[in-house]
Structure 1
Amino acid sequence: MTACQLTWQALGAQLLQARTGGVELLYLSPWYYTKAQRAARGGVPVLFPQFAERGPLKKHGWARDVEWVLTHNASGADSHVLEWEWTCGGAGQPTWPHQAHLRLRAQATASGLEMQLHVHNTGTSAFEWTGGLHPYWVVGNLLECRLTGLQGVSVSDRYNASRTFEAREAVQCSGQAYESLYDTPGPVCLELPSHTVKLSMTGFDQWMVWNPGAHEAQRLTDMPAADWQRFVCIEPVRVSRPCRLQPGGSFTGTLKAEWWPNSDGMGRR
């Protein structure tokens, strides 16, 4: 196996795993390969044109449920680049009377992972959309991790509005589901005992932090129940402020994950 390698499926142009410099960044349910399920629990699903149930469409839209076209695949000793395209709207989605062309790019390098989502309005009517990227970051034990960079940041609308992160607070679910939408585009750091992952974004303007916890994980049929402790979703999204695109208009959102080993166990270099 090379030091930088991406695995994926055409359905949803979904990254499944991202090995960067010998470190795996993404969680993927071990049942994906053994139960022959088309949908994958883990990796990086694309959410478009609707986030969750925030509108009349299917939950999280349908970008993750259709096959995209792989247009580029270049791998070497120190990099792996993938690009996909997908055209949506028209007869394929009668409940969404618009047209759009999407491009997704992913690149793994020794220092991390970069992704770019481009949305172009190819129709004759303006539309608004919500969504983004839904990465599952792999951890050895969620309760031994910290998520920093959200201290003092407001929490938006219905998502656990009473909860905020204090400096260096652990992402600790204690068995309960955690779901909070943080109203900032600023970078955050996921600190594991072995290494730290710094996440930054452009274009997107909020972070969604989600983990099912022990109780909700019991109801998920596509992963072992105990695996709720093996990942946390930290997602760059557009939710509270939908992105409006006029005919011919476009949007580009990026996600960058950089990692480095910790020299003092838990903490910074």
Structure 2
Amino acid sequence: MTAPGADPVHQRVRLQGLDCHALHLPGGDRVLVAEHGGQVLSWVAQGRERLYLSPTAVLDGHAAIRGGIPVCWPQFSLRGSLPRHGWVRQARWSFIAADLQAQSPRLVLELRPAELLPADAGPWAHDCRLEVTVAPTPGRLEVTLAVFNMGQQPLPFTGALHTYLALSDAETATVTGWPDPSSRQGWDSMTDTPCRVEPGLSLRGEIDRILPAAPAALVMTDGNQELTIEQSGWADTVVWNPGADKCAAMSDMPNGDERRMACIEAAQALSPVSVPPRGVWAGTQRLSLVHPS
């Protein structure tokens, strides 16, 4: 890796079977984005990795990658007729630009989904373009998905930035920040029933909830690590941990690693967005250290 310097530095790098782009900030923070899936794989801030990437993740450019920040689109999970989480997380995105302005360096990748439609995706009649912008600043990472509808009909979709956070120990980690009481119900995907929205949740064990986006920042607390998690554009927040049994059944995640991660996702899961003809939609998630040095 390149040593910190006076200016941001962009590097093209190879990670096993993946073509990737690294962006290094002068203070030492860095981010790594794969062309496969347009997926953030690593965010190092204050010398510590803040995202979880499974040590047994498949990095051959042909499968979904377990960890980082997968882009789920145009379908969230199995809430529709398409493959789970859509297909763009397994498509090769095109690298567009590395903007190295000192105040707002960023990496930009794009995808035209109709050109990379897999055989199992079903019919797809929309002319559109996706753009992922990854913008790190010291102690902070901002990721934005933009959807450009270039066609003549509305474009509905669900999806998510499926963010895997690295934890010291999920047994004691929490996420807090929903209002008490909330005016909206959530959805417990484990029981497939509505659930109350509590002010905070433990990240211990199996959990799979779709919750309303909080009006202010959420706070993830994990030992001496605290992150604020903000989102805009996305209506929902998903909190997920596979738990021990499901983790043990996953071929791309080691036994016990459910304690090393939890997903807190900016999502559009319960109801679709509809982008009007020639319109643009954008959704952002921001991760920030609470006490950056």
Classify the TM-score, shorter chain: 0.7 to 0.9
Q: Quote the Cα distance in structure 2 between the aligned partners of 1:225 and 1:182.
A: 28
| Alignment gaps of 5+ in structure 2 | 5-27
Match of 1:111 in 2: 139
Q: Quote the Cα distance in structure 2 between the aligned partners of 1:76 and 1:4.
A: 15
C-alpha displacement at 1:92, in angstroms?
3.1
Match of 2:81 in 1: 56
% same residue: 27
Q: Quote the Cα distance in structure 1 between the aligned partners of 2:230 and 2:279.
A: 24
Match of 2:66 in 1: 41
Instruction: Classify 1:98/1:256 alpha carbon distance in 2 versus 1 (closer, same or farther; 3 Å).
Output: same
**Most deviating of 93-102 and 217-226:** 93-102
Match of 2:20 in 1: none
Give aligned pairs, total: 257
Q: Quote the Cα distance in structure 1 between the aligned partners of 2:281 and 2:101.
A: 30
Alpha-carbon contact 2:186-2:196 (below 8 Å) kept: no
Matched, 1:15 2:40: yes
Instruction: Classify 1:98/1:188 alpha carbon distance in 2 versus 1 (closer, same or farther; 3 Å).
Output: same
C-alpha displacement at 1:232, in angstroms?
0.6
TM value normalised by structure 1: 0.87
Q: Quote the Cα distance in structure 1 between the aligned partners of 2:268 and 2:258.
A: 25
For 2:204, give the aligned amino acid: Q
| Alignment gaps of 5+ in structure 1 | 263-269
User: Deviations 1:170-189 (Å, cap 9, x if unpaired)?
Assistant: 2222xxx2100002343211
For 1:123, give the aligned amino acid: G
Q: Quote the Cα distance in structure 1 between the aligned partners of 2:130 and 2:49.
A: 27
Q: Quote the Cα distance in structure 1 between the aligned partners of 2:68 and 2:171.
A: 20
Match of 2:209 in 1: 180
User: What is the SS of the residue equivalent to 2:97?
Assistant: strand
Q: Quote the Cα distance in structure 1 between the aligned partners of 2:224 and 2:212.
A: 29
Which of 135, 146, 150 pairs up with 1:122? Answer: 150
Q: Quote the Cα distance in structure 2 between the aligned partners of 1:22 and 1:197.
A: 15
Alpha-carbon contact 1:113-1:257 (below 8 Å) kept: yes
Q: Quote the Cα distance in structure 2 between the aligned partners of 1:167 and 1:126.
A: 36
Match of 1:143 in 2: 171
Q: Quote the Cα distance in structure 2 between the aligned partners of 1:238 and 1:162.
A: 17
Please tell me the root mean square deviation across aligned C-alpha atoms, in Å.
Answer: 2.3
